Amino acid sequence: MVIIYFIAALFAIGNLMLVIVPRLRNDQEQEELPDVNATFFGGIIQFKNPVEYANYLFEVTKNSEETYMMFSSQLYALGHINAYKNKHLRRAIIFFGTAILSELFIIMSMAWGRAWQFLFNT
């Protein structure tokens, strides 16, 4: 039972780490996407100041097709990230529940073993 506890706890921690820091690869071609995605923090920090960022947003939003592609690519990426995080969060909850139940069984068996001699004077 102790082995089950430690394995479940390790898998719960591992899955929670994948929720906090998701490991996703992007293997798709991105020919039509803009060079700088102004809706993503990685794109925002490429600008030196808020005025430069505002000017870029103003220029990008003049072209509705480019704006649509920028926002749709961001929503698509967020959808994949959220699906990945949801899968690993569900796994972490299952492993955490398993670890808690096995710990409870360990405590109960130790308490029962200790109380056995007092309950049944043998």
Entry pTM: 0.71
Contact between 33 and 70 (Cβ < 8 Å): yes
Q: DSSP label at 51?
A: H
CA distance linking residue 40 with residue 55, whole number of Å: 16
Q: Which tokens belong to 52?
A: 């430069």
CA distance linking residue 98 with residue 54, whole number of Å: 50
Check pLDDT > 90 for residue 46: no
Domain ranges of the chain: 2-21+64-113
Enumerate residues 6+ apart whose C-beta is below 8 A from 18: 84, 85, 88
Among the ranges given (39-43, 52-56, 58-62), the one the predictor scored with the smallest mean pLDDT: 39-43
| Rounded average pLDDT over 64-88 | 88
Q: DSSP label at 24?
A: -
> How confident is residue 82, by pLDDT bands cut at 50, 70 and 90?
very high
- Look at residue 14 in the predicted model and tell me its pLDDT: 94
Q: DSSP label at 28?
A: S
Contact between 72 and 39 (Cβ < 8 Å): no
> How confident is residue 6, by pLDDT bands cut at 50, 70 and 90?
very high
CA distance linking residue 50 with residue 29, whole number of Å: 30
